[in-house]
Amino acid sequence: MNAQLRQVGVVAVLGLAIVMTAIACIYARHESRKQFTHLQSLIAERDNLEVEWGKLKIEQSTWSTHARVEQLARDKMQMLNPAPTDVRMVPQ
């Protein structure tokens, strides 16, 4: 009787261990899929931000061209190029 009870207990513990292992495997798989989905969304966001960064760099280069700066200096600050007689060379 004692041996049978012991065997039933061992089988119960092993059965419980199998069920817990199965649940842990299912949970790990679910978390893995969830994290992969999150990774994919972050990669898509990174790609969108890189595209936007490229557009902003192009816009910045457009706004800072020499012709644009010179035009703003002439129009808004009434700046002019100095006459050749007004230019003085300074020796080093």
Q: What is the maximal distance between C-alpha atoms in the chain?
A: 120
At 21-35, the pLDDT tens digits run 999 999 999 999 999
pLDDT, the chain, mean: 93
Residue 82 near residue 88, CB atoms below 8 Å: no
Whole-number pLDDT of residue 24 = 98
* Residue in the structure block whose two tokens are 């513990």: 13
> CA-based Rg of the chain, rounded to a whole angstrom?
37
The pLDDT, as a whole number, for residue 26 is 98
Mark the ranges of the chain whose per-residue pLDDT is less than 50: none
Structural domain boundaries in the chain: 16-77
**Cα separation of 31 and 37, whole Å?**
10
Tokens of 42: 């972050």
CA angle 85, 90, 92 (to 5 degrees): 160
What pLDDT is stored for residue 51 in this prediction? 98
